[in-house]
Amino acid sequence: MGMVKMHTHFNYVHIPAPDQPNGRTLLLLHGTGGNEKDMLPLGRQLDPNAALLSPRGTVLEDGMARFFRRLSEGVFDEEDIRFRAFEMVEFVESAIKTYSLDAENIAAVGYSNGANIAVATMLLHPKVLSAAVLFRPTVPLVPEPLPDLSGIPIFVAAGSSDQLVSADETNRLIDMLSSSGADVSVNWNPGTHALSKEDVVAAKDWLDQH
């Protein structure tokens, strides 16, 4: 599995999905400072049979790749979020055509900043992703009105000792997604912002049922 360089119809350096046109594709979205390779072992743990599509964020913050800009810790650039969510949609749609993926079976798996761009993409473009696994997400923006996410299953993995995302903020996101009609499952554990083995096990169990 090699790295594809950016060219005209792709806006992300990425790891391409293998040839599994009839199965699920996991769109792997790394956290701040990650790259297109970081999430591959996690994706394979979560679903050994899925195609894995893994882009690198196009925004740099002190040399670290992200999927959208922030003004300070926890304060996001909403205009940039909207642009980057549209960019993500273009990327997914191009990948579907290029790699013959099932457009009805694209599930995002995002950690931290990657989870937040997944949330933004669902809120702003609700027909693109069929499901999402969100590790340590927060509220990236609040669209008015809320979209219709009816029937979309979403798994949220939250840490009660998360030093970056408060429980109130996590619950605000859960309430917003639920109010949009999404079928939200939540797994709280005592962890921090870092991903834990418990998160992975719970997410895999959830994915196996969806």
Q: How many CA atoms lie within 13 A of 53 on its CB side?
A: 30
Catalytic annotation, pick one of 14, 38, 47, 162 = 162
Whether 72 sits among the annotated catalytic residues: the reply is no
Whether 180 sits among the annotated catalytic residues: the reply is no
DSSP secondary structure letters along 70-82: EEETTEE-HHHHH
What distances in angstroms separate CA 183 from CA 61, 77, 112, 131, 145, one per listed residue? 33, 28, 20, 9, 19
- 11 CB neighbour count, 10 Å cutoff: 16
Catalytic annotation, pick one of 112, 130, 180, 199 = 112
Whether 150 sits among the annotated catalytic residues: the reply is no
Catalytic annotation, pick one of 94, 178, 193, 196 = 193
The span from the CA of 107 to the CA of 45, in Å, is 15
Which residues are the active-site residues? 112, 162, 193
